[in-house]
Structure 1
Amino acid sequence: MSLEIERKFLLPRYPAAQIEAGELILQSEQRIEQTYLAMDENEELRVRRLTDLATGQVSHTHTFKSGNGLVREEVEYSISGSIYEQVTQAFGFMPLTKNRITASWNGRTVEIDTYDQIQLSVLEVEFPSLEEANSFQAPEWFGEDISSQKQYSNKTVWKQLQGEKWQEKQ
């Protein structure tokens, strides 16, 4: 398993000024649909359909994550579109949908997720070490650090979208 070390920020507004100033350089944008297959407090299994908005290229992934907060273990691999469809149809859950912009800022790659079903935009920064993540000083425009706030996690938001249907499957 590889470690995912990231900090998340509650982006208060689209960073148009940073893009216009050349401080934030857009690299790509994807449409993401993700559905959770199983989860508990510390682990999750999910599948995703990712569509590159520039090329239309579609890919699918299956991901296992373990842990909470800044550091989590992650295993992700590609699956076929057919497997993705079979799994999502078998469970019958509504996918969480969002657009993800990948950009370069100050020598770092950042990802901005803008969700459809709720009014939420999150900026994520990944780090090679916990020490670097802890010492990182985010600019004010990133917004509040929500790295350890579970109510903003994808799996929490996804569970809320499912409502009673999720409880029935438990």
Structure 2
Amino acid sequence: MATATEIERKFLVAEMPDLAAAKAVEIRQGYVTRPEDSIDVRLRQKGESYFLTIKSGSGMVRGEHESEISRDAFETLWPAASGTVDKVRWTGKLEDGSVFELDVFSGDLAPLVVVEVEFDSVEAAHAFVPPAWFGPDVSGDKAYSNKVMAFRDRPAG
């Protein structure tokens, strides 16, 4: 089980970048908990891998506990997920060497596109200067959390 503190910033995408060097994977995720719950319990299929994740806290710094599970376990638990999100995640590197994850949502959330960057420290997160193709910072906006979006239509903006 991976246990970590997740420090990330999330942005809308002002202009799609060149993704030629990025890698894409389809993601299907569902939430067992509801948006008003104090923790997130998420199931995620990422390509041919399956995960159960528990997240706590809110905003830029959150606790995260993730375990890889079998496909059978995923399929057994999936019916308990009442809110779902489908997206393609593009992972690549920025000029400064930081890794970005660009999510292109499908279904009711299309054409929403967001990009996230994870950091080793809060100081690094605050010092980060986003490239020109990044749009507004929505890190603290709960309307753009995957859990909230899984239970309703795309946020305005």
Instruction: Find the aligned partners of 2:143 and 2:149 in 1 and give their Cα distance.
Output: 7
1:105-138 Cα distance to aligned partner (Å, 9 max, x none): 1211110000002121011000000011011111
Which of 89, 95, 99 is 1:100 aligned to? 89
Amino acid at match of 1:139: P
Secondary structure (helix, strand or coil) at the match of 1:77 reads: strand
Structure 2 equivalent of residue 48 of structure 1: 44
Instruction: Find the aligned partners of 1:85 and 1:41 in 2 and give their Cα distance.
Output: 23
RMSD across aligned positions (CA):
1.6
Secondary structure (helix, strand or coil) at the match of 2:76 reads: helix
Instruction: Find the aligned partners of 2:37 and 2:73 in 1 and give their Cα distance.
Output: 26
How many matched pairs? 147
Structure 1, unaligned runs of 5 or more: 52-57, 162-170
Instruction: Find the aligned partners of 2:66 and 2:24 in 1 and give their Cα distance.
Output: 20
Residue 63 in 1 paired to residue 63 in 2?
Answer: no
**Structure whose CA Rg is larger:** 1
Secondary structure (helix, strand or coil) at the match of 1:82 reads: helix
The TM-score with structure 2 as length reference comes to: 0.87
Instruction: Find the aligned partners of 2:59 and 2:132 in 1 and give their Cα distance.
Output: 21
Give the C-alpha shift of residue 14 in structure 1: 1.6
Instruction: Find the aligned partners of 1:79 and 1:65 in 2 and give their Cα distance.
Output: 16
Structure 2, unaligned runs of 5 or more: none
- Cα separation, partners in 2 of 1:149 and 1:92, compared to 1, 3 Å: closer
Q: Indicate conservation of the 8 Å contact 2:102/2:116, yes or no.
A: yes
Name whichever structure is richer in helix by fraction.
Answer: 1
Residue 36 in 1 paired to residue 26 in 2?
Answer: no
The TM-score with structure 1 as length reference comes to: 0.81
Seq. identity, %: 36
Q: Name the stretch that deviates more: 93-102 or 111-120.
A: 93-102
Structure 2 equivalent of residue 125 of structure 1: 117
Which consecutive aligned stretches of 4+ in structure 1 deviate over 2 angstroms post-superposition?
A: 39-42, 91-95
Structure 2 equivalent of residue 6 of structure 1: 8
